[in-house]
Amino acid sequence: MLLPTLGSAPLALAYPFSPVDHELASWFHSHLNHVLVTVFSAFTELGSGEWIGLVLGLSILFLLWKRSWPAMATLVVAVPGGMLLNELLKLAVHRQRPSFVDPFGSWSGYSFASGHSIGATLLYGQLALLLVPMLKDRHGRGLTIGLAALLILLVGFSRIALGAHYLSDVLGGIVLGILWLILCFWISKSVRWQPKRLPYNLPGEQL
């Protein structure tokens, strides 16, 4: 049974997906069994803060070893920076999580946008952006992008199925993550390819 919950901010009452959100959350809660809960709990860990921190740390160490300074800087800004912005958004929107009499788990914090979903989008999306240019094989590039998308979708789906988030929370997290990655990618390209001023004067240029 899904208990009605409302946030204290006006934005929490303005979701056009609200009927679908509640119907989907109630459907999953009434149809999941112990085995599916175990499976989805494993999927949801792929977007947990602990797992993201571990993968991010190993990736940074690898990039340090390869002396890939621009890639490392982009990774640091894209993943932790995007997750921090999401936490600020949660406080601004102030939406309550789905609430059940017999929940599958215990989750703290606000609901919109899904932290697991945006974390997975930022981590796997940014890793894909770093790996794809290194791969010369078209199939390898397609497999990398497909694997990143699959991991993101599995994490988002698990959050809905377990009752940790509504559908709109997950969609919001994924969309925000993609937009943040696009912004970081554009900034990194702009900085990397910015032309340098020549140290001497061109013919006809006045001092």
Residue pair 98/163 in contact (Cβ under 8 Å)? The answer is yes
Q: Is residue 144 part of a domain?
A: yes
Using alpha carbons only, how large is the chain's radius of gyration in Å?
A: 21
Q: Is residue 9 part of a domain?
A: no
Q: Is residue 44 part of a domain?
A: yes
The per-residue pLDDT for range 48-57, each reduced to its tens digit, is 999 999 999 9
Q: Is residue 200 part of a domain?
A: no
Q: Which domain holds residue 80?
A: 18-100+109-190
Domain count, the chain: 1
Q: Is residue 79 part of a domain?
A: yes
The per-residue pLDDT for range 102-124, each reduced to its tens digit, is 777 777 888 888 999 999 999 99
Cα–Cα distance, 3 to 174 (Å, whole number) = 26
Q: Is residue 5 part of a domain?
A: no
The whole model's pTM is what?
A: 0.81
Over range 166-195, report the average pLDDT. 84
Mean pLDDT, rounded, of the chain: 83
Model confidence band, residue 27 (pLDDT cutoffs 50, 70, 90):
confident
